[in-house]
Amino acid sequence: MARVTVSSDAQITELAVNDHACLTFGEPDELIDLTAAFVRDGLNGGLKVIWLSDSGPTQAVTELARRGIAVEAALAVGQMAALACENYLLSGQSFAAGQAMIWLIEQMAASKNEGYSGLRVALDMSWALRPIAGVEQLPDFEENVGKVLTDPTVSVLCQYDRERFDPVTLASVTTLHTKSVAASTYCANAVLRICRQYAPPGIRLAGEIDLHAEEALSLALAEALRLDGDITVSMAGLSFIDVTCMRLIVNLAKSIPAPRKVILQCQPKVANRFATFGVTEVSSISLEIVDDQ
Amino acid sequence: MTSDAQGFPRRDRRIPAAPPDALPPADRHTEPILDHPVDGDSLYQLRASVAAHAVLAGLSPRKADDLVIAAHELAANVVLHGSGHGRLRIWLCDSTLHCRVTDDGSEPRKDSAETVRSGEEPGSPDPSSWPIEPGHGLWLIRQLADDLSVRRAQGGGSDVTVSFSFTSPDGTDGTRPAVS
């Protein structure tokens, strides 16, 4: 079996105040998970947080709240803003690096005037995949963002879908950032993906998992165990799990000291497997049924 | 269905010590609808093939899922604890689907924790014990299948056959109730 390696990118929880970080993601769940951690840590640190999402503010807020982020309260007091790219980074269906920079600098000044000790901005760059006029100015924008982030209270997280952006664009823009951020991935192939989950903390499994992934799953679980608090094993995207892997997960849950818990989120048929295995009798396991994603 | 000392649901069925010619009758009369090799590199393909044939044969979605995990665990036993190579065959006979996994080898590994002999009952997982030990693959299969039989195959390997009926006596799907 191939040796399990974990990607060497920075963790989303390791960003410094003046980082201009490049987040790459492979699936929508990964983007929202990483953004949720970025937002959570910003709000907890008393910073103002702005997310310009591609999916729309309403869905963004719903997804963040679903991951336990107190986003409604932050929105109500103005500590957070969830916006669509169209009205802020873009002017209609066109992009101008200069205009976008003016918007960003205005936000930096506004957050100071509002009394916040700093600002976190997350920018979903998926708009650049659409036929937007001025998209060729994207590298200029990224370069200029780096220049204005000499202010040690502001960090910007640019978000790129690595499955949809072409490698040349990705390579050119990533060099314009101070850090590269991605979810720690323990296994990624055509059948299975195992990666760290940041909000709520734990791991995420998608696809089909069997004994071939025993080593990768063991490593992912061992690292999750070192986190604080409850551990969530998100299996909404998992359609098959065998006894070998169920045993690893159940044994982790049995070894976790009280009052910590392991929360298993699964599709109904996977939940039934765990129930057959007796997990509903284990006090440190909470079995939650979620819809297939 | 009764419960054991830990409150575990289980069926009052022991693995029958059946003679070789009794299991299953289907293969004496009909060709298998699936004949798939078992090895460590083809478990995903094996599951996909079993699922496709189960649905095509008319097994309910829930029983098809149960069959897939039963077939996988039997194949995994061959890979982990047996010779590493074998074959999986599925027959349809009257209102029952029989899935047999044959271990080609004559020398099962000595570390086999899931080797089961006719008449033996694999242990059930005890939720209060720690950790859960190997051996629960067969226990799980027993909970899911309508019948499970084991025999020593000609040449020294082993045959394990699980059977799923298309209807259960009470007219329901016949598998474990869903988690509420």
Q: Cβ of B132 under 8 Å from any chain A Cβ?
A: yes
pLDDT in tens, A281-290: 889 999 999 9
Of residues A243 and B7, more confidence is placed in: A243
In angstroms, the separation between the Cα of residue A242 and the nearest Cα of chain B is 7
In angstroms, the separation between the Cα of residue A229 and the nearest Cα of chain B is 21
pLDDT-based confidence at residue B136 (cuts at 50, 70, 90): low
Q: Which chain B positions have a beta carbon within 8 Å of A189's beta carbon?
A: none
Given a cut of 50, is residue A162 above it in pLDDT?
Answer: yes
Q: Say if CB B95 and CB B166 are below 8 A apart.
A: yes
pLDDT of residue B176: 35
Indicate the residue of B72, B134, B178 with minimum beta-carbon distance to A242.
B72
DSSP state of A279: G
Given a cut of 60, is residue B109 above it in pLDDT?
Answer: no
Lowest mean pLDDT among A275-289, B27-41, B156-170: B156-170
pLDDT of residue B63: 93
**pTM, two decimal places:** 0.77
Given a cut of 80, is residue A23 above it in pLDDT?
Answer: yes
pLDDT of residue B173: 52
Given a cut of 60, is residue B115 above it in pLDDT?
Answer: no
Mean pLDDT, range A163-168, rounded to an integer: 90
**Distances from the Cα of A265 to the Cα of A25, A203, A217, A288, B56, angstroms:** 22, 11, 16, 5, 30
pLDDT of residue B168: 58
B7·A281 Cβ contact <8 A: yes
DSSP state of B178: P
Q: Which chain B positions have a beta carbon within 8 Å of A212's beta carbon?
A: 40, 43
Report the alpha-carbon angle A161-A162-A163, nearest 5: 90
Chain B, nearest residue to A276 by Cα: B140
pLDDT in tens, A120-159: 999 999 999 999 999 999 999 999 998 888 778 899 999 9
Mean pLDDT, range B62-71, rounded to an integer: 94
pLDDT of residue A36: 94
Of residues B105 and A232, more confidence is placed in: A232
pLDDT of residue A224: 92
> Mean pLDDT of all residues in chain A?
90
Q: Cβ of B44 under 8 Å from any chain A Cβ?
A: yes
Q: Cβ of B8 under 8 Å from any chain A Cβ?
A: yes
pLDDT of residue B80: 87
pLDDT in tens, A75-105: 999 999 999 988 889 988 899 999 999 999 9
Indicate the residue of B7, B79, B179 with minimum beta-carbon distance to A275.
B179
pLDDT of residue A148: 86
Given a cut of 90, is residue B128 above it in pLDDT?
Answer: no
Contacts with A98 (C-beta within 8 Å, 6 or more apart), sequence order: none
Q: Cβ of A122 under 8 Å from any chain B Cβ?
A: no
Q: Cβ of A223 under 8 Å from any chain B Cβ?
A: no
Spatial separation of the C-alpha atoms in residues B3 and B7, rounded to whole Å: 5
In angstroms, the separation between the Cα of residue B62 and the nearest Cα of chain A is 8
pLDDT of residue B106: 56
pLDDT of residue B153: 67
Indicate the residue of B7, B130, B178 with minimum beta-carbon distance to A272.
B178
Percent of chain A with pLDDT over 70: 97
A243·B137 Cβ contact <8 A: yes
Indicate the residue of A208, A244, A277 with minimum beta-carbon distance to B125.
A277
Spatial separation of the C-alpha atoms in residues A79 and A122, rounded to whole Å: 14
B8·A278 Cβ contact <8 A: yes
A275·B137 Cβ contact <8 A: no
Within 13 Å of residue A100, how many CA atoms lie on the same side as its CB? 25
Mean pLDDT, range A34-63, rounded to an integer: 93
Indicate the residue of A210, A211, A276 with minimum beta-carbon distance to B143.
A276
Instruction: Write out the DSSP string of B114-144.
Output: S---TT--PPPP-TTSSSPPTTHHHHHHHHH
Q: Say if CB B50 and CB B21 are below 8 A apart.
A: no
Interface test with B, best of A187, A276, A279, A286 (most B CBs within 10 A): A276
A250·B76 Cβ contact <8 A: no
pLDDT of residue A5: 46
Give the number of beta-carbon pairs within 8 Å between A and B: 78
Spatial separation of the C-alpha atoms in residues B109 and B82, rounded to whole Å: 6
What are the strands, taking DSSP E only, across chain B? 2-3, 9-10, 34-38, 86-93, 96-103, 147-152, 158-165
Chain B, nearest residue to A280 by Cα: B127
Q: Cβ of B134 under 8 Å from any chain A Cβ?
A: yes
Interface test with B, best of A243, A251, A264, A281 (most B CBs within 10 A): A243
Given a cut of 50, is residue A170 above it in pLDDT?
Answer: yes
Q: Cβ of B137 under 8 Å from any chain A Cβ?
A: yes
Report the alpha-carbon angle B162-B163-B167, nearest 5: 155
pLDDT-based confidence at residue B157 (cuts at 50, 70, 90): confident
Indicate the residue of B43, B47, B179 with minimum beta-carbon distance to A268.
B179
